[in-house]
Chains A and B, each alone.
Chain A
Amino acid sequence: MNAPALSGADLVVDGMRCAGCMAKVEAGLGALPGVRAARVNFTARRVHIDHDASVDEEALIAALKAIGFEAHAFAAAEPVARESRGLAKALAVAGFASMNVMLLSVSVWTGADGATRNLFHWLSALIALPAIAYAGRPFFRSAWRALRHRRTNMDVPISIGVLLTAAMSLYETATGGPHAYFDGAVMLLTFLLAGRLLDTVMRERAQDSVAALLRRLPEDVRVLEADGAVRALRLAEVRPDMRLLVAAGDRVPVDGLVEQGSSSIDRSLVTGESVPESVEAGGSVLAGTLNLSGPLVIRATAAVEDTVIADIARLMESAGQGKSRYVRIADRASRLYAPAVHTLAALSFAGWLIAGAGLHQALLIAVAVLIITCPCALGLAVPVAQVVASGSLMRRGLLVRDGAALEKLARIDTVLLDKTGTVTEGRLEPIAGLPEDEVERRVLLALASASRHPIAQAIADRLKAEGVVAAPVRYAGEIAGIGVEATLGRRTARLGRGDWVGAPVAAKDGATDRGVATSFRFGAGPAHRIALADRPRQDVGAAVERLRAQGLQLQFVSGDGWPVVERMARQFGLFARARMSPADKFAAVEALEKAGHRVLMVGDGLNDGPALKRASVGMAPSAASDVGRQAADIVFFGDRLMPVPIAIAGARRTMRVVQQNFAMAIGYNVLAVPLAIAGLVTPLVAALAMSGSSILVVANALRLKNAAR
């Protein structure tokens, strides 16, 4: 048997809340022909599908939509997963070793001596040394890298401390000394690895938004030669003045002018405008926009690297570079920390030598200082708080893609909101004028289902949701830019432009001040003017109010025209700017950032990509374009805007706890270091101090379990 090629897909699924949803998603996908297996990962709100090559992602997404779940393609972040798996293994080894060594140490502390103590010390060495060699590698490697570049980082004192302690303890064991610090060394590694592992989980996922951006363009284009022949060319080979064929349903490959044909164009990818635009001969089209209804012949006006979409790609790149490098709070702490610790240990070593102690005793005390100052609590202070807080945010439908985003979000003072798809739901909804009559509704559904036009699809979706069944009509076809026609019996039904349908009032169609409208008429019946609008998310008012209460400046930035934007700006009392190109949005963010503001950009479209990347923090709804989601630090799920203020409140709570944790870790050092310098720290004291401070920090961070409110 020749099995068809197998491939896999990962989708982010919106709206999974319970076991029932999981079962529904898995069963729904599993029932598709060509799907081998579907498995939901509930923690990550994702589903992994093994399928034959014949099934494509679009079909899977459509199938999920049919059972009531919004889904989006997702690019996996493999390297991070591999790194955290390696850390988890190191942590397991360190944990195993520290438990067993501690078991032996307790016997020593409770009074074992002589041959028994020596035996136990040797056993501890036997367990601890291989464990340190294995579990310490992440620190040794990073410290070595830093030293080779003549820098120092948090891992340098850690590595020196652990290695020196192990060597010193081995010497003590060999000479039958009373104190071995094997337990301290492995316990240190355990706590530090726990912090490091949590930190990795929170770290930034790989971002390849620019590549995703350009994948939106077709790879091959069909060129119309002067003699009328059609030739296939690679996209990169297209030059200005070539004549290209663009079929209905295809994306326009390069910017150009329409020579023949008329159609409507969905420009939402580039401009964020939700309402499709009609084009006729002489009109211009942009690369990356979607040709909805009729075939077009366009004359290229730019090569692929000069198109608007390529400009956005370049803007995104420069946004990534121009963003002032944010130094994470933990890194700032470690910059001060490493030199201080080294100096302290060296000073106590020298001090005790001068005071007349032997080399051996002075070294033991220096080691004790290094152990006691090792940043266990400090290493846990930030990541534990961030992990607990983002877990809480996740339960409220907020996916934090980068732990540093929480730190930056806590210091935001200005919020820029995109309109389409962010403040609004980003899809058209019929708001008035649907026919009441049952027959008319069935005919309308049949007509609307026949077109790919977003207006028709919005009407079809609504009618289907209301349980209407399509009438068995005979289609007469779709006229691009005008409408669709069909017959039922001898009566003709039309859906489209008012004058064509025969509406009594020569109502203006297309964009109006309240959105868009279309007309429908069945036979000699009355003409219905159906109005559609992209409605605001239902809790925009409350969310805006809460953002204001948080002391934030709010602004609308929209690519849409003034009438639509102004109405919404008035409704929510916000300062607004309309007709902004991607470069305008980017410039607006940059100007604010340069003036010392810290900006949160909330947007969804490709056109928001550069601004999302340039802002201190970018946030996108889960229904955003690929590019929008890739560029954002935080993604929010669901139909509401409330997650935005919730995220800010959660981030502020997190930073408060982080600061408390730092205070505790430093307070612990202030208490413990003098003891160590005075030579009073035995292995027992070191173990108690280390675990005590770490537990305190973790317990404090756990208070963030309900941080997302």
Chain B
Amino acid sequence: MNILGMLIPVALALGLAGLGAFFWAASSGQFEDLDGAAMRILIDEKEEPGE
């Protein structure tokens, strides 16, 4: 029984961490261009942008 006292808060905390990560991702535009993100790994970047 005591193990539940540990596991349940831990499970909830992990879930909340995931939720927090999603909130951050949604507000910083990570889901704006899903197809493009898949394509971008194919682009060879010779120079760093901003040079």
- Residues of chain A whose beta carbon lies under 8 Å from any beta carbon of chain B: 18-20, 22-23, 30, 37, 40-44, 85, 88-89, 92-93, 96, 99-100, 103-104, 116, 119, 123, 127
A41-B33, A92-B23, A93-B19 known; A100 vs B40 contact (CB < 8 Å): no
Whether A100 lies near B23 (C-beta < 8 A) is no
B39 touches A22 (CB 8 A): yes
Are B33 and A19 touching (Cβ within 8 A)?
no
Residue of A nearest to B1 (CB): A116
A-B complex: 6 closest residue pairs judged by Cβ atoms: A42-B36, A19-B42, A19-B39, A41-B33, A23-B43, A43-B35
Q: Which of A40, A85, A100 contacts B11 (CB 8 A)?
A: A100
In-complex Cβ contact of A43 among B16, B27, B33 (8 A): B33
Question: In the bound complex, do residue B11 and residue A18 qualify as a contact, i.e. CB atoms below 8 Å apart?
Answer: no
Contacts of A20 in B (CB 8 A): 42-43
Answer yes or no: B12 CB below 8 A from chain A CBs: yes
**B8 CB–A CB distance under 8 Å:** yes
| Partner among B12, B34, B39, B41 whose Cβ is within 8 Å of the Cβ of A18 | B39
Closest residue on chain B to residue A391 by CB atoms: B35
Q: How far is the CB of B4 from chain A (nearest CB, A)?
A: 8
Give Cα A22 to B37, complex, Å.
11
Contact with A along B11-43 (1 / 0, CB 8 A): 110011011001100110001111110011111
A637 to chain B, nearest CB (A): 15
A23 to B43, alpha carbons, bound, how many Å? 6
Please indicate the chain A residues that have their CB under 8 angstroms from the CB of B23 in the complex: 89, 92
Contact residue among B8, B11, B36 (Cβ-Cβ distance under 8 Å from A22): B36
Whole-angstrom distance between the alpha carbons of A103 and B34 in the complex? 31
- Minimal beta-carbon separation of B49 from chain A (angstroms): 8
Cβ contact within 8 Å between A103 and B36: no
Which residue from B12, B36, B43 sits with its C-beta under 8 Å from A127?
B12
A126 to chain B: closest CB distance in Å?
Answer: 9
Nearest-neighbor residue (CB-CB) of A85 within chain B: B26
* 14 chain-A/chain-B pairs, Cβ below 8 angstroms: A19-B40, A19-B42, A19-B43, A23-B43, A37-B49, A41-B32, A42-B35, A88-B26, A88-B31, A92-B23, A93-B19, A96-B16, A100-B15, A116-B1
Shortest distance in angstroms between A280's beta carbon and chain B's nearest beta carbon? 52
Question: Which residues of chain B have C-beta atoms less than 8 A from A40's C-beta?
Answer: 33, 36
A30 vs B48: C-alpha distance when bound (angstroms): 12
For the complex, what is the distance from the CA of A22 to the CA of B19, rounded to whole Å?
32
Distance of A116 Cα from B1 Cα, bound (Å): 9
Minimal Cβ-Cβ distance residue in B for A46: B33
What residues of chain A lie closer than 8 Å to B8, measured between beta carbons?
104, 123
| A127 to B48 alpha-carbon distance, docked (Å) | 46
Determine the chain A residues whose CB is within 8 A of the CB of B26 once the complex forms.
Answer: 85, 88-89, 92
Which chain A positions have C-beta within 8 A of B42?
18-20
Q: A100-B12, A103-B11 are in contact. List 13 more A-B contacts (CB 8 A).
A: A18-B42, A19-B39, A20-B42, A20-B43, A22-B40, A22-B43, A37-B49, A40-B33, A41-B36, A42-B36, A93-B19, A100-B11, A100-B15
Q: Report the separation of the CA atoms of residues A177 and B4 in the bound assembly, to the nearest whole angstrom.
A: 22
- Contact residues in B for A88 (Cβ distance below 8 Å): 26, 31
Point out the residues of chain B lying under 8 angstroms from A119, CB to CB. 4
| Complexed CA–CA distance, A169 and B11 (Å) | 23
A127–B19 Cα distance when bound, in Å, is: 13
Residue numbers in A under 8 Å from B39 (CB-CB): 18-19, 22, 42
Instruction: Report A-chain residues with C-beta under 8 Å of the C-beta of B44.
Output: 23
Question: Which residue on chain A has the smallest CB distance to residue B42?
Answer: A19
Closest to A37 in B: B49
Cα(A116)–Cα(B22), bound, Å: 32
Q: How far is the CA of A85 from the CA of B22 in the complex (A)?
A: 12
Q: How far is the CA of A89 from the CA of B27 in the complex (A)?
A: 9
Q: How far is the CA of A340 from the CA of B12 in the complex (A)?
A: 39
B40 shortest CB reach to chain A, Å = 7
- Chain A residues positioned under 8 Å from B18 (CB to CB): 96
- Distance A613 CA – B48 CA, assembled complex (angstroms): 47
- A96 touching B15, Cβ below 8 Å: yes
* Residue contact A43 to B36, C-beta cutoff 8 Å: yes
- A40 and B37 CA atoms in complex are apart in Å by 10
B11 to chain A minimum Cβ distance, whole angstroms, is 7
Instruction: State in angstroms the CA–CA spacing of A158 and B43 once bound together.
Output: 47
Chain B residues with Cβ below 8 Å from A23 are 43-44
Tell whether, in the assembled complex, residue A43 and residue B34 are in contact, meaning their CB atoms are under 8 Å apart: yes
- Report chain B residues within 8 Å CB of A89: 23, 26
Determine how close the nearest CB of chain A comes to the CB of B25; give it in whole angstroms: 10
Report whether A99 and B36 are in contact in the complex, using a CB–CB cutoff of 8 Å.
no
A100 vs B32: C-alpha distance when bound (angstroms) = 28
B14 to chain A, nearest CB (A): 10
The smallest C-beta distance from B3 to any residue of chain A, in angstroms, reads 12
Report the bound CA distance from A119 to B8 in whole Å: 11
Query: Which of A19, A85, A99, A116 has a CB less than 8 Å from the CB of B15?
Result: A99
Kindly state the separation between the CA atoms of A598 and B27 in the bound complex, as whole angstroms. Answer: 42
CB of B51 to closest CB in A, whole Å: 10
Which residue of B is nearest A22, CB measured?
Answer: B39
Closest to A119 in B: B4
The CA-CA distance from A41 to B29 in the complex, in Å, is 11
Q: Which residues of A contact B22 (CB under 8 A)?
A: 92
A37→B50 CA distance, assembly (Å):
8
| Cα–Cα distance between A42 and B32 once the two chains are bound (Å) | 9
By beta carbon, the residue of chain A nearest B44 is A23
A36: nearest chain-B partner, CB-CB: B50
The complex places the Cα of A437 from the Cα of B48 at a distance, in Å, of 46
Q: Which residue of B lies closest to A40 (CB)?
A: B36
> Given the complex of chains A and B, what is the CA–CA distance between A30 and B45 in angstroms?
13
For A100, what are the chain B residues with a Cβ–Cβ distance below 8 Å? 11-12, 15
- A22 CA / B31 CA spacing, docked (Å): 18
CA–CA, A99 to B31, complex, Å?
22
